[in-house]
Amino acid sequence: MCHAPRGPVHVSTTITFHCDPNALESQPEYLGEFECDHALFWRTAAACALRPPSGFNCSVLSPYTKFRFDLSELAGQDHIAVDEFGHHMVLSVCSNVSDLSCPRGVGACQMNPTNGLSLGKSSSALQYLPGGTLELRYKGGDPCGIGRTRETVIEFFCGAEGSIEGPRVVEEMEVSLGVAFFQKKK
């Protein structure tokens, strides 16, 4: 029971966690008590956000099931996605776009009448996000605004039987393009 004049009826404890990647075996620090609330402060690596596992060569291991997702079968092919304004985007999974009107070394580009606009350099660093989504990020595209470059985020999903396969533009922002890539189960 708490006997403080303005305190609650019961004693409580508040623990404030602070991310410290180097604090692997730490202990909480007691800060004191105020009106029956005991305060603790704990620096620990356990409070740090988990980075999504990142793979290479277009594959990544699920940290939960230990299943290896391998999308290398989709690499080396150009895929076309059209946005709501009729702009054609060419993208390649984990490899460079082969379309000659796109800049060299890009994983995604927007087709223009004269040349392709880079939407990011290709990467094979597939990531496994919380919830089971697979994601590729192509960064370092053509400049867009002051000190910013264009990028493309491709998220991969298993489509339902009979669904359309391939990429679909789902979000366009000033510097980034969001693409959902649907693939049927095999």
pTM of the model: 0.67
| Residue (of 56, 79, 80) closest to 69 by Cα position | 56
Q: Which domain holds residue 171?
A: 59-184
| Residue (of 124, 121, 113) closest to 142 by Cα position | 121
* pLDDT digit string, tens, across residues 11-50: 888 899 988 867 878 899 999 888 888 888 998 877 776 6
d(CA 144, CA 166): 27
Q: Tell whether 150 is covered by a domain.
A: yes
The parts of the chain modelled with pLDDT lower than 70 are 1, 3-8, 21, 49-53, 159-164, 184-186
84 and 32 part of one domain: no
157 and 69 part of one domain: yes
40 and 95 part of one domain: no
Q: Tell whether 136 is covered by a domain.
A: yes
CA dihedral angle for residue 55, residue 122, residue 119, residue 154, rounded to 10 degrees? -30
DSSP 98-162: --TTSPTTBSEEEE-SSSEEE--B-----EE-TTS-EEEEE---SB-STT-B-EEEEEEEEEPTT
Q: Tell whether 145 is covered by a domain.
A: yes
Rounded percentage of the chain residues whose pLDDT exceeds 70: 88
Q: How far is CA 22 from CA 27, 31, 38, in A?
A: 13, 21, 26
CA dihedral angle for residue 135, residue 90, residue 71, residue 55, rounded to 10 degrees? -40
Q: H/E element holding 33? A: strand 29-34
Q: Tell whether 146 is covered by a domain.
A: yes
